Chain A
Amino acid sequence: MRALNRKLLRDLWRIKTQVLAIAVVVGCGVAIIVMALGTMRSLEETRATYYERYRFADVFAHVKRAPEYLAERIAGIPGVKWAETRVVADVILDVPGMAEPATGRLVSIPEHRRPALNDLTLRRGRLLAPDRPDEVLVDETFAEAHGFRPGDHFFAMINDKKRKLLIVGVALSPEYIYSVGPGVLVPDKRRFGVMWISREALASAFDLEGAFNDISLSLLPSASRPEIIERLDVLLDPYGNTGAYDRDDQVSHAYLSGEMDQLVATATVAPPIFLGVAAFLLHIVVTRLVATEREQIGLLKSFGYGNAAVGWHYLKVVLFVAGLGVVLGFAGGAYLGRLITELYTDLFRLPFLHYRLSLDVFALAALVTLAAAVLGTLNAVWRAVRLPPAEAMVPAPPAVYRRTAVERLEPRGLVGQPTRMILRHIVRWPLRAAMTTLGISLGVAVLVSTLFFFDAIEHLIQTYFHHAQRQDVTVTFTEPSVERVVYEVGRLPGVLAVEPYRAVAVRLRHGPRSERAGISGLEPDAALRRVLDTRLRQAAIPPDGIVLSTKLAELLAAAPGDVLTVEVLEGRRPVRQVPVASLVEEYIGTPAYMDRHALNRLMREGPVVSGAYLQIDGRQEEALYRELKDTPVVAGVALQTVALRTFRETMAETMDIMISFYVMFGGLIALGVMYNSARIALSEHGRELATLRVLGFTRFEALYILLGELGVLTLLALPLGCLIGYGIAWFFAWSFDTDLFRIPMFIERATYGAAVLVVLVAGAASALIVRRRVDRLNLVAVLKTRE
């Protein structure tokens, strides 16, 4: 047996480049499993522990003002474990050293105990001292962005009064793992911060003494969420309830879940591609090995090696290559996992997050890989097992070829013999040709479907920032205000144009379905904040009826013409029937739109507005910001250019690295398939080629015959790969489709071009490597031996 193992090692060494190429493809698949599932697991476990230890709530609700005694009745709902009331308010901040206004979310904490739900992790400094209404804890992201340390201060516009707040500590909360401001797409560390302040101080500032405007519940494990939410809504509705929701609708939780879903989607789509391609490559290599070693197999068998021993021998080849790939994949996956976890620790604020190398993920990856490899090569190994010893020692008869169908149409003489050879090789092994084509096309597909994200994000930016939301600044008022306020805002320094809007929280019902949503009432002739139809043209907002985003329509199963029940969750809480006028395409959230005047009518209110969109003169922005920070009616200021910048930065941070890896992986698949195909072709046709060289064919002519087949298959693979890539991109877009955001199904032509180019470069590289071998063909040796 030891001699046989030595033969094994020598065989492997002889085809070492092929072994490495296959192992790398295996490695990519394994790395993705280890990275995606490992990171997913780390995130999941960390989050679960964090939630449990810091008592993250199960159900959330916001009201305008509810009496404190209601809390006891809420806690009495069967299934509720604990109810914690709070005062929460978004305010404008004036941070020293920053021109733009920031938004602060002030969250109350009890003065004499730890919060019973959504508890804080103190990272630095100390907790609030009793009877110190000016002390706050700030969240770590915001503190880091501004370099805050305990002892620093900033200003907040609290209920019309500018107040100085003193930072005593830096904290984290399970409620704000992903901390994103209102109306913003991605976290802006500088411009949105959560701060915790004493309940008494906040209540007195907002006239909420003996009352609350926010409540969180924890539930017993057996509790039915929908039932509790319904009963909670009934209790809160008289107090300006905007609709209770559970964790699935809690922004931070939902984003984190979305991220995990994406990891799972990645782990579902990518590894099968890589492992499938690797299995195919192993199959052709082992088939070839068995074919060239027929005589040796016969010899072994005639000397008494059993069929099992021979089978095991070739299986060891498979296991070695796959095993090497698994080892490479473990290393690569651990590296990628560490990398992505670092990204996550920046994006998600967790008190601890370690990429843990969990044994079962490794075991799973190894098992799946080895199984795929063995399954893929079973047929080839079986061929070695089945070979009768006598027959094995006679060289294989020349392969039987036939004319191709194409040739029957071809008038003789149009196609030269070399081209004819190429066509017949393809037809002789149609399955292999098809698999090779598929393999190369999967390389293209991986590239297309990952580069797609750049296009999709760019498309999203174009529509969202450049076509739909053309305002520079969005101002939110503390209360619905009379139109006159808008004109006052219009007179602030640097304001070029102003457009008011009305925003109302509602519950929409259609048949048995219902969704919480916000209706934006826009000016019918809006030029800044526009609504786009499914073809990205400005859609008119009809004087009556409601315009739904396609996602919201899907959730409600509503189509234009259907009538919705609109239950307003604020003001006098009217309930109205409103027809769906049309649908618009939106990639972010699930918005709904109405004519502002129609919305005012629906609300049975006068011409009031919730805020305004501004177009400003960039040269005067500092002056404008200064004014806005001190304007009492302003509750929030969103800056579009800053939003776009942070959006781009966040996307660059999170996507660029991963996508570069996938681009590399796609190239490696293509390289692996093409290099192996070229090597197999050389091994099969080496003798023919040497003969042709002896007969006076030039190196180039020989290379043409050798690589022509691969060239033809590559040409077939390119369009197929683009098609498959589109399909995978579509799957990604579909699987990332959530209420929070959707990925536009949009691929630039240049992306297909780039994918094709990468694959062609990989092909050229394979051709160059093989060319060196053609140059070195030993002409004389070939003539001496029988195959």
Chain B
Amino acid sequence: MASAGLSQDRSANERPRGPQGTASGPGRPERRRAFVARGLTKVYGKGEVAVHALRGVDLELFAGELAVLLGPSGSGKSTLVNIMGGLDVPTAGQVFFHDLELTAFDERALTAYRRENVGFVFQFYNLVPSLTARENVALITDIARNPLAPEEALGLVGLAERLDHFPAELSGGEQQRVAVARAIAKKPEVLLCDEPTGALDSKTGVLVLEAIERVNRELGTTTAMITHNAAIAEMADRVISLADGRIAGVRENATKRPARELAW
């Protein structure tokens, strides 16, 4: 099964079998690439009504970095991240996760890939209302290999005090932090966040970003975070801008600003 291979390959220090990095790769050449995307296109619909969400994207994500995908609404950010997360398949092009070609996976292998390697945080939290904070996290740790204890994961996002609250008893920001804890509790190699603060105000949003930042720093989780909010990009290692389904630019932040200092 693909899943077994995946988890072992995680620690292997080998070069990806995929094609060599190009444009988007910056300075330090010894950095390990977690993702490589080549010529990704995604077309929704056919003929007259076809929407080109991605029009040939080449992209690399480095292991352990915190990358922000910035771009206006409709620029293709979610589509790109969904393809990397194994939720969607491109119309053309390839995606490699280390040396595994995701674009060659079938549905079952993609499920296993998500289960083993990816943590998701969504704009609308998507917690299970019938489970408490602790149980929402346990939902994932129950099926993961060598996970954090749910209490530990919730401690990382500053919710050690609210373990036994149901979603209906938590604020939006708290729910989103539970979602972050749920995403990272299995110690995934990748954390994908699609506008995690989109439904939150600035003050509570910052708490969520701090949690993501801390996870990235302390667990070394490769993190891709979507936002259309330029202020948030300040906390990233690299900022990848998208416009109209294409990479419009990649810039490296010389100094990352801590999430705590952000405001919008």
Contacts and interface: CB of A to CB of B under 8 A. Distances in A.
B142 A783 contact: no
Given A398-B168, A400-B168, A783 B194 contact: yes
Given A417-B139, A421-B128, A428-B130, A401 B78 contact: no
Interface stretch (B10-18, B110-118, B241-249): B110-118
A78 B114 CA distance: 97
A696 B115 contact: yes
A786 B131 contact: no
Contact of A696 (B111, B127, B128, B169): B111
Contact of A780 (B87, B126, B140, B143): B87
A401 B166 contact: yes
Contacts of B182: 695
Given A417-B138, A695-B114, 16 more contacts: A399-B168, A400-B169, A401-B166, A401-B168, A402-B166, A421-B128, A424-B130, A688-B128, A694-B87, A694-B114, A695-B139, A695-B140, A696-B115, A696-B143, A783-B78, A787-B124
7 contacts: A398-B167, A398-B168, A688-B128, A696-B118, A699-B111, A779-B87, A784-B78
B191 to A, nearest CB: 12
Contact of A694 (B120, B129, B136): B120
A691 interface: yes
A425 interface: yes
Contacts of A398: 127, 129, 166-168
B131 A420 contact: yes
Nearest to A786: B124
A693 B111 contact: yes
Given A398-B168, A780-B87, A780-B88, A691 B194 contact: no
Interface string A373-413: 00000000000000000000000011111100000000000
Contact of A783 (B116, B123, B128, B169): B123
* Residue among A417, A699, A782 having the largest count of chain B Cβ atoms under 10 Å: A417
A546 to B, nearest CB: 69
A399 B129 contact: yes
Nearest to B120: A694
B131 A421 contact: yes
A687 interface: yes
B97 interface: no
A407 to B, nearest CB: 10
Contacts of A416: 142
B177 to A, nearest CB: 16
A696 B114 contact: yes
A780 B168 contact: no
Contact of A400 (B123, B166, B194): B166
B82 interface: yes
A786 B113 CA distance: 26
B135 interface: yes
A425 B78 CA distance: 32
Given A416-B142, A417-B135, A783 B166 contact: no
A698 interface: yes
Nearest to A418: B139
Interface in A752-787: 779-780, 782-787
B122 interface: yes
A697 interface: yes
A692 interface: yes
Interface of B: 78, 82, 85, 87-88, 108, 111-116, 118, 120, 122-124, 126-131, 135-136, 138-140, 142-143, 166-169, 182, 194, 199
* Residue of A694, A697, A786 with most chain B CB atoms under a 10 A cut-off: A694
Contacts of A417: 128, 131, 135-136, 138-139, 142
Contacts of A691: 122, 126, 128
A-B complex: 7 closest residue pairs judged by Cβ atoms: A696-B115, A696-B114, A417-B139, A398-B129, A691-B126, A424-B130, A401-B130
Contacts of A402: 166
Contacts of A688: 126, 128-129
B130 A421 contact: yes
Nearest to A400: B168
A603 B170 CA distance: 94
Contacts of B135: 417, 420
Contacts, number: 94
Nearest to A687: B126
Nearest to A413: B138
A425 B87 contact: no
Interface in A124-157: none
Contacts of A779: 87
A701 B111 CA distance: 12
A425 to B, nearest CB: 6
B129 A401 contact: yes
A400 B129 CA distance: 7
B130 A698 contact: no
Contacts of B169: 400
A701 B115 CA distance: 12
A687 B85 CA distance: 18
Nearest to B119: A695
A681 to B, nearest CB: 12
B185 to A, nearest CB: 11
Contacts of A780: 78, 82, 87-88
Contacts of B114: 694-696
Contact of A425 (B115, B126, B130): B130
Interface string A689-710: 0011111111101000000000
A780 B167 CA distance: 22
Contacts of A694: 85, 87, 114, 120, 126
B4 to A, nearest CB: 14
A699 to B, nearest CB: 8
A785 B113 CA distance: 24
Contacts of A784: 78
A418 B139 CA distance: 7
B142 A698 contact: no
Contacts of A424: 130-131
Q: Which of A425, A688, A701 has the most CB of B within 10 A?
A: A688
- The residue among A424, A687, A696, A697 with the most chain B CB atoms within 10 A of its own CB is A696
A424 B129 CA distance: 10
Contacts of A692: 128, 139
A420 B120 CA distance: 22
A421 B112 CA distance: 22
B168 A397 contact: yes
Given A425-B130, A780-B87, A784-B78, A696 B116 contact: yes
B144 to A, nearest CB: 9
B79 to A, nearest CB: 8
Nearest to A691: B126
B112 A696 contact: yes
Contacts of A400: 166, 168-169
Nearest to A784: B78
Contacts of B122: 691, 783
A697 B131 contact: no
Contacts of A695: 114-115, 120, 139-140, 182
B118 to A, nearest CB: 7
Contacts of B126: 687-688, 691, 694, 782-783
A401 B108 CA distance: 32
Contacts of B130: 399, 401, 420-421, 424-425, 428
A415 to B, nearest CB: 10
Nearest to B167: A398
Contacts of B116: 696
A592 to B, nearest CB: 67
Contacts of B124: 783, 785-787
A337 to B, nearest CB: 49
A187 B192 CA distance: 81
A702 to B, nearest CB: 10
Nearest to B128: A688
A686 to B, nearest CB: 12
Nearest to B141: A417
Most chain B CB neighbours (cut-off 10 Å) among A402, A695, A697 = A695
A692 B111 CA distance: 10
